[in-house]
Each structure stands twice: as C-alpha cells, then as structure tokens.
C-alpha cells in the first residue's frame, strides 16, 4: 500500500491530488514531504466569497504541517493560486486542508486540540515535537469553531459560580448548563461583577434566558439581582455547595478569632493546626486528626460549637417538603442567633433573609443534582492547575472552554485521535 492511498483514505480532497511523497533525510527530524497539485479541470475557489473564479497567478510554495506518522513529520507542499474575483479582487484561493493562516493543517490542529484535552499543553507539544504556541493556536481554533457551532436550544437549568484565577481578588464568573442530559460550561467572564454576569446572559441571548426553568447560584447579592432581572421566569435555587462553603468559612473565622484570643491570654495555641479537622466532616477525618478533635472537645471552645452547628445544618438538606425544611431552618437560625458566634450569626441572618430562595431547593428537588456545581468547580480548578504557568486570561479562558465546554467538532471522514 502506498502512502498516497492512505492519504486519500484519511484526507481526500475533491479538487486536489497528492503527488509522490519524498523522504527528507537532512531535516531537523525525519520528514515526509507530500506535494499537492490542483486537478486539471478544477477552478480555484475564492477565499472571500467561496465561489469558483478564474485563476490569476501562483504564489511560491508553502508548507503545511499534517498529522505526523510514526513520529515522522508529514508536510504538504503546495503553491497557492490567486484568483481574479469580480467581488473580492485578487485574493488567494481557499484550500480544504488549511484556513489559510498558520503553518498547521486543520486536521493537525484538531489532532493537537484533541490531545490537549487529555494532556497538559506542554506535554502535547513535547510528545508531538511542536511548540506550546502551536498547541494553543490549535485549541483556540477548536474552541472558536465549537462556540460558533454549538446548539444552545433546550437548555432549562444553569448554575452560576465564581472561581479565583489569580492571587488576590481576581475571580472569573462561570455559567454552566446543568440539565440532567447536558452539563457543560457555557460562558466565562473575566470579572466577578454584576455587569459581567449581565453581559454573559445577554450574549447567551433572550431566547436562551426565556427558556430557563431553574437557575442556581450562591447568595451573592449582585448575582441574585441580575438573575432575577434576566431570567425572572426561572425558579432560583440556592446552591448547597455554596451554602456549606459559607458555613465552612464562618467556622474558620470563629477559629481564627479564638486562636488569637487564646494566644493573647497565654494559652497554648491548640487551634493553630486544627483548621482542617474543623473543616472536614467527621467521616473524613484521619486517625491523628480525630485525636486532635477529641482534645479540642475537652475545651468548651467556640470553634467546636460552631462546628457542631454546621454539622447540625447538614440535616436541612435531607428534608423532602419545603414546609418542614422551613421549620428546621427557623429553629436552626434561632439557635445560632443565641450562640454569640458572630460569623455564624452573619450566615444565619443571610439564610433567613433568603429563606424562600433556600426553600426553592426542595421545590426543585430531583431536578438539580446536589453535587453538580461543586463538580464543575473542582474540574475548573483542576484545569487551571494543569494549565500551571498560564498567565494570560485568554489562555485560561481557552483551556476552560476546551475542557468543560463539551464543544462540538466537525464531522470528518477520519478521526486521528
């Protein structure tokens, strides 16, 4: 079997034929060059209007990198023609294997982008003997294509979340689709502001917002406001993950305050190393941490009381009816309000204030799975960790869309990876 036959099988182009491949020994790495010729009867296609037009002249030969074969680089060599187009003037022709710019063929870009979902970009670059920049460009190409071709119809539930992307107060706003049959990242905003989320929802469109039945977010006021204004028809559900996270932060604040006070009073800093054991649920504690917890319990510490209140709140999520859940919530809040634990009281006040939103969780029961926003949050963090070293916002944006956007790909005759 000849290489030409294989190429015709994996990447056949109607108006072009492959010439005889040659092996280049003296290149930096072993390379197969494949010349491409236009078919004699084919007229070049104008890259502007995409219509067949009379030829004008030919440019000098260019090289287009194709998917490598057995670690041997495969390069197409072709001299682009220019057309004389009555609409677009003298412009270069359109060829099916490349978008015109850049050195990589589209097949190779999809190939690299596919691997960039499985490995870090740096690893992809080193395995396939290419550069990090080429991998990034390939991902960019895949993401742009996917965003244009994705179908947003039928979305009924979204979750809004924020995630830190740089040290300091640098948060991204993320909008996920969280329908049972379709979970994906829909939109990323560079800030965590009211305007930012509003822009995102506007971009997703009025029809999209009108079709929403559930929106899910944390208690952050600006988000609540924008969601009420842009997706007023949807039932707003406060996300379990975010509420438990708030309680976790409150415990942490109580502990930090108490540690400071104990130290001032000359007591041993018992709480200094106990942060994780207070944040963890009892079943997740390791043996050593359990001992620490037992020691802590010997003091009637405020942190321990805060911890017990949080544990108590777990019961809230087990209710079936909004009525009983509401009754539990009221009792829990009044217990906390008597506790003299200021950070926890702050959370209780905010929960009470958003009582009806909180109870929507039980009205939406069964529709939105508890872990879904948390799951996305973890995956987004992992993606950013894997993209360690990405400094620019655009790169992080590309990586997140590529990893979590579940973006479509064009149909092709052959899948290279």
Q: How far is the CB of 47 from Zn ion (least distance, A)?
A: 8
Residue 46 near Zn ion by CB under 5 A: yes
C-alpha distance across the termini of the chain, in Å: 22
When the beta carbons of 92 and 293 are compared against Zn ion, the nearer one is: 92
| CA 326/CA 308 separation, integer angstroms | 20
Q: How far is the CB of 91 from Zn ion (least distance, A)?
A: 6
When the beta carbons of 83 and 188 are compared against Zn ion, the nearer one is: 83
| CA 195/CA 201 separation, integer angstroms | 10
When the beta carbons of 93 and 258 are compared against Zn ion, the nearer one is: 93
Enumerate residues 338-367 that contact Zn ion by CB under 5 A. none
When the beta carbons of 52 and 269 are compared against Zn ion, the nearer one is: 52
| CA 331/CA 322 separation, integer angstroms | 14
| CA 214/CA 179 separation, integer angstroms | 9
When the beta carbons of 49 and 337 are compared against Zn ion, the nearer one is: 49
Q: Under a CB-based contact definition with an 8 Å cutoff, are residues 83 and 95 in contact? A: no
Q: How far is the CB of 64 from Zn ion (least distance, A)?
A: 22
When the beta carbons of 85 and 135 are compared against Zn ion, the nearer one is: 85
Q: Which region among 78-86, 118-126, 271-279, 315-323 touches Zn ion (by CB under 5 A)?
A: 78-86
DSSP per position, 172-236: EEEEEEEETTEEEEEEEESS-SHHHHHHHHHHH-HHHHHT-SEEEE-S-HHHHHHHHHHSTTSEE
Q: Which region among 88-96, 124-132, 294-302, 398-406 touches Zn ion (by CB under 5 A)?
A: 88-96
Q: Under a CB-based contact definition with an 8 Å cutoff, are residues 137 and 397 in contact? A: no
Beta-bridge partner residues of 185: 176
Residue 92 near Zn ion by CB under 5 A: no
Binding-residue total with Zn ion (CB under 5 A): 6
Strands (E), 21-114: 22-24, 31-38, 55-69, 72-85, 89-92
Q: How far is the CB of 124 from Zn ion (least distance, A)?
A: 36
Residue 84 near Zn ion by CB under 5 A: no
Residue 85 near Zn ion by CB under 5 A: yes
| CA 134/CA 23 separation, integer angstroms | 24
When the beta carbons of 92 and 147 are compared against Zn ion, the nearer one is: 92
Q: How far is the CB of 45 from Zn ion (least distance, A)?
A: 9
Quick one: which of 17, 49, 77, 262 contacts Zn ion (CB under 5 A)? 49
- Burial label for 168, CB within 10 Å (0-12, 13-18, 19+), is exposed
Query: Alpha-carbon Rg of the chain, whole angstroms?
Result: 29
Q: How far is the CB of 363 from Zn ion (least distance, A)?
A: 57
Helix 355-363 vs helix 322-337: crossing angle, to nearest 10? 140
For the record, the structure tokens of 212 come out as 């929403």
Q: Is 6 helix (H, G, I), strand (E, B) or coil?
A: helix
Quick one: which of 3, 10, 17, 88 contacts Zn ion (CB under 5 A)? 88
Quick one: which of 6, 72, 87, 90 contacts Zn ion (CB under 5 A)? 87
The contacts of residue 341 (CB under 8 Å, 6+ apart) are 250, 254, 302, 305, 306, 309
Q: How far is the CB of 49 from Zn ion (least distance, A)?
A: 3
Q: Under a CB-based contact definition with an 8 Å cutoff, are residues 36 and 19 in contact? A: yes
Q: How far is the CB of 80 from Zn ion (least distance, A)?
A: 15
Q: Which region among 41-49, 145-153, 273-281, 402-410 touches Zn ion (by CB under 5 A)?
A: 41-49
| CA 134/CA 105 separation, integer angstroms | 11
Q: How far is the CB of 44 from Zn ion (least distance, A)?
A: 10
Q: Which region among 30-38, 49-57, 113-121, 380-388 touches Zn ion (by CB under 5 A)?
A: 49-57
Q: How far is the CB of 412 from Zn ion (least distance, A)?
A: 26
Quick one: which of 19, 42, 48, 96 contacts Zn ion (CB under 5 A)? 48
Helix locations, 364-417, DSSP H: 372-386, 393-404
When the beta carbons of 93 and 179 are compared against Zn ion, the nearer one is: 93
| CA 238/CA 359 separation, integer angstroms | 8
Binding interface with Zn ion (CB under 5 A): 46, 48-49, 85, 87-88
């Amino acid at each position: 079997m000849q290489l030409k036959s294989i190429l015709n099988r994996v990447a056949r182009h109607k108006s072009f034929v492959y010439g005889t491949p040659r092996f280049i020994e003296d290149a930096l790495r072993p390379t197969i060059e494949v010349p491409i010729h236009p078919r004699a009867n084919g007229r070049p296609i104008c890259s502007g209007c995409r219509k067949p037009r009379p030829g004008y002249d030919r440019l000098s030969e260019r090289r287009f990198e194709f998917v490598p074969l057995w670690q041997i680089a495969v390069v197409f060599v072709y001299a682009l023609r220019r057309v004389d187009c009555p609409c677009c003037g003298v412009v270069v022709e359109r060829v099916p294997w490349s978008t015109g710019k850049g050195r990589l063929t589209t097949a190779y870009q999809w190939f690299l982008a596919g691997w960039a979902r499985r490995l870090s970009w740096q690893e992809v670059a080193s395995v396939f003997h290419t550069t990090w920049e080429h991998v990034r460009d390939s991902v960019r190409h895949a993401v742009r294509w996917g965003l244009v071709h994705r179908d947003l119809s039928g979305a009924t539930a979204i979750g809004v979340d924020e995630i830190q992307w740089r040290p300091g107060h640098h948060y991204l706003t993320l909008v996920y689709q969280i329908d049972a049959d379709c979970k994906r990242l829909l939109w990323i905003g560079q800030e965590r502001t009211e305007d930012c989320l509003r822009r995102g929802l506007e971009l997703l469109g009025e029809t999209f917002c009108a079709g929403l039945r559930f929106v899910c977010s944390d208690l952050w006021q600006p988000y609540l406001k924008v969601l009420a204004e842009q997706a007023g028809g949807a039932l707003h559900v406060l996300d379990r993950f975010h509420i438990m996270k708030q309680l976790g932060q409150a415990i942490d604040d109580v502990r930090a305050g108490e540690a400071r006070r104990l130290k001032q009073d000359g007591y041993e800093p018992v709480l200094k190393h106990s942060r994780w054991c207070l944040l963890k649920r009892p079943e997740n504690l390791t043996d050593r941490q359990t001992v620490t917890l037992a020691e802590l319990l010997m003091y009637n510490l405020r942190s321990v009381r805060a911890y017990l209140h949080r544990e108590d709140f777990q019961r809230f999520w087990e209710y079936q009816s909004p009525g009983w859940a509401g009754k539990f919530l009221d009792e829990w809040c009044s217990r906390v309000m008597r506790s003299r634990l200021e950070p926890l009281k702050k959370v209780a006040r905010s929960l009470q204030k958003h009582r009806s939103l909180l109870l929507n969780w039980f009205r939406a029961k069964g529709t939105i799975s508890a872990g879904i926003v948390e799951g996305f949050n973890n995956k987004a963090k992992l993606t950013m960790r894997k993209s360690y070293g990405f400094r620019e916002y655009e790169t992080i944006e590309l990586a997140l869309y590529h990893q979590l956007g579940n973006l479509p790909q064009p149909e092709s005759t052959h899948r290279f990876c």
